[in-house]
Amino acid sequence: MPVTIRLTSPGSSNRRRVAVALTVEQVFGTDLPRALRFVAALTNAYALLLAMGARAAAASA
């Protein structure tokens, strides 16, 4: 069964959007959402993606 989440809602911060994505247990399991370093890295990567676009963000990694 496909999993659909809504990441875009008015006023949502990057941190909140990442937190919502992390609730998809089929993708992230239960341990990754509790791993603070992983959550911080994912939040930073998401912000970079939004700021630079996919190609530039991937090139800077």
pLDDT tens sequence across 16-57: 889 989 999 999 999 999 999 999 999 999 999 999 999 999
Task: Answer yes or no: is pLDDT of 61 > 90.
Answer: no
Quote the pLDDT of residue 42. 95
Quote the pLDDT of residue 5. 62
User: 36 to each of 9, 39, 41, 44, 61, how far by Cα in Å?
Assistant: 24, 5, 9, 12, 20
Q: How far is CA 18 from the centre of its chain?
A: 4
Structure tokens at 36: 């603070």
**Structure-token match 């530039």, residue found:** 56
Quote the pLDDT of residue 11. 61
Reported as a pLDDT band with limits 50, 70 and 90, residue 9 is: low
